[in-house]
Structure 1
Amino acid sequence: MSKPRRQKSPVTAKKQLGQHFLTDESIIRRIVQAIAPNPHAAFLEIGPGLGAITLPMLSECKRLTVIELDTRVIPLLRANAALIGTLEIIEADVLTVDFNALLGDKPWHVFGNLPYNISTPILFALCPVQSIVDMVFMLQKEVVERMDAQTGEPAYGRLSVMLQQYFDVAYLFDVPATAFSPPPKVTSAMVSLKRLPQPRWQVNDNQVFSAVVKQAFSMRRKTLRNALKPIMDAETLAALGVDADLRAEKIDGAIFAKIANALSVKS
């Protein structure tokens, strides 16, 4: 029996949407394997584009939900998906989506090739959504290095702390620019995030924790004494057992949590 023929795309990548369409079949197979499709689980893809990952995933899962902003690719996605399974397309800017309302209480697996220019706010929006059990994303290599970085490493920063509060983060593999059309000017990488049973550090107020981490890394070359001066003085840091002469890059999440919890009690 012959395989259904997919419609070819007349759509070209839009620079303003940060689009680079994945075309390398061997890389696509590795990505699908990393996502681990399962017909008994719920999967959400962010930014399916022309369906390079969508269609192989749909072949395995038979049902898939995607969020796509570019209306040019949606008719093509619908037509090709109709040959394979059920594709629910949410036409929206991912930054406007209420993920708690969309996903509800059942477990979800999220994946996608995130637009590099808005990847960080997307990640921050997804972090606290408890129904997301794991995520597999393609991102700029430097971003994945920051996500996976440990205390004291050069790439360690706000993104490292905020994601590792909720997830075990694993750098999977690099994706060369030649795997895309048009090729981006950067190397990409795949990353896996598996939600922890409980947040890694005990935090009384997530908003305060986020504000402390953001403030500390906003002036990463300065010591905590100076970086945190707007929210906490050196004497209070010392009373908490925190060395105010250290920089944020030398501080792990447990210490940021201690500072945040002291602030939340104070307020």
Structure 2
Amino acid sequence: MNGHRPRKRFGQHFLTSRTVIQALVEAIAPRADDPMVEIGPGLGALTRALLPHLRALHVVELDRDLISGLETLAAQGPAQLLIHQGDALRFDFADLARQLGRPLRVVGNLPYNISTPLIFHLLEAGPQIADMHFMLQKEVVDRLAAAPGGKDYGRLSVMVQAYCQVAPLFHVPPGAFNPPPKVDSAVVRLLPLTQPLVPPERRAGFARLVAAAFAQRRKTLANTLKGLLDPEAIRACGVDPGARAETLAVADFVRLAAALHNRGA
């Protein structure tokens, strides 16, 4: 397992820093009975650090070449390590939560090339996710946590903040990984809201509206939302149709999506 060569196509950068691993475990604060799932355990560095705190740990790993090493780790005990070989983007997290009878705690050093779609996939599991702790590219964490008006604020900020509290935790330098990535990383905590700002029946319309609003950042809402909402409808939501998407709060998008839903769109 230690002889495994990181694969570019899987976006593999294996976490090796004991200091960072310990800080991540402290942030997660695992408890023995937690229904914990690790995405992309890789060579098992974080896995080994989590296992002493848990009775059982589920891991989802795509790379078949890493499974035998994880199976060796599973045989060592004392905690139960349950290995799911497959693509986390297609894994049914909600179904696993139902099997375990409780919402999942999800952790992982996520491959940079799938981090955003994977977060969206997890958001679809809704109340079946208790919390998420991820190592991500720092610029992605900056975008997740961004406030209106800044350059980092965009579609990802709005889509995630409508469903989660976002808390950046700490910075991680490239040297904490093998091979070192060309960018800085950061750890973030995503805590799903007890009551998401967007109800299930409006999710699709909300996603469509936010994507359209940010598709051309320099254009006004009157232009970007043409075909979805006219200027009068935008103004009726308390939003200036002459404004740009990056200036709107998440709550503004929620009201616009409600108007879209009421029109049957």
- When normalised by structure 2's length, the TM-score is 0.94
Superposed counterparts of 1:111-122, under 5 Å = 111-122=107-118
Which position in structure 2 is the counterpart of 1:73? 66
More displaced stretch, 136-145 vs 234-243: 234-243
Give the structure 2 partner of residue 177 of structure 1.
174
Is it true that 1:19 corresponds to 2:12 in the alignment? yes
Matched, 1:87 2:81: yes
**Preserved CA contact (<8 Å) 2:74 2:82:** no
Candidates 33, 44, 55, aligned match of 1:40? 33
> Which segment drifts farther, 54-63 or 108-117?
54-63
Partner of 2:94: 100
Q: Which residue of 1 aligns with 2:106?
A: 110
Q: Secondary structure at the match of 1:96?
A: coil
Aligned pairs for 1:117-266 within 5 A: 117-129=113-125, 130-200=127-197, 205-266=202-263
Is the contact between residue 58 and residue 81 of structure 1 (CA under 8 Å) also seen in structure 2? Answer: no
What stretches of structure 1 move > 3 A for 4+ residues in a row?
200-204
Query: What is the aligned residue count?
Result: 260
- Partner of 1:135: helix, strand, or coil? strand
Contact 2:33 2:55 in 1 (8 A): no
Structure 2, unaligned runs of 5 or more:
none
CA distance in 2 between counterparts of 1:199 and 1:236 reads: 24
Q: Aligned AA for 1:35?
A: I
Q: Distance in 2 between matches of 1:239 and 1:95?
A: 38
Q: How far does the alpha carbon of each residue in 1:219-244 deviate from its partner, in whole angstroms, 9 at most, with x for none?
A: 11211111111312212212332201
Q: Supply the distance in 1 between the matched residues of 2:220 and 2:68 (Cα, whole angstroms).
A: 53
Asked if the contact 2:13–2:180 (Cα under 8 Å) also holds between the matched residues in 1, the reply is: yes
Deviation string, structure 1 residues 130-181 (Cα, Å, up to 9, x no partner): 1111000000000000001112222111111111111110011111100111
Tell me the residue number matched to 2:50.
57
| Distance (whole Å) between structure 1 residues aligned to residue 63 and residue 162 of structure 2 | 33
Query: 1:107 Cα shift?
Result: 1.9
Deviation of residue 81 (structure 1)? 2.9
Select the structure that is richer in helix.
Answer: 2
Residue ranges of structure 1 left out of the alignment (5+ in a row): 1-7
CA distance in 1, matches of 2:161, 2:45: 29
Q: 1:62: Cα distance to partner?
A: 2.9
Identity of aligned residues (%): 47
What amino acid is the match of 1:19? Q
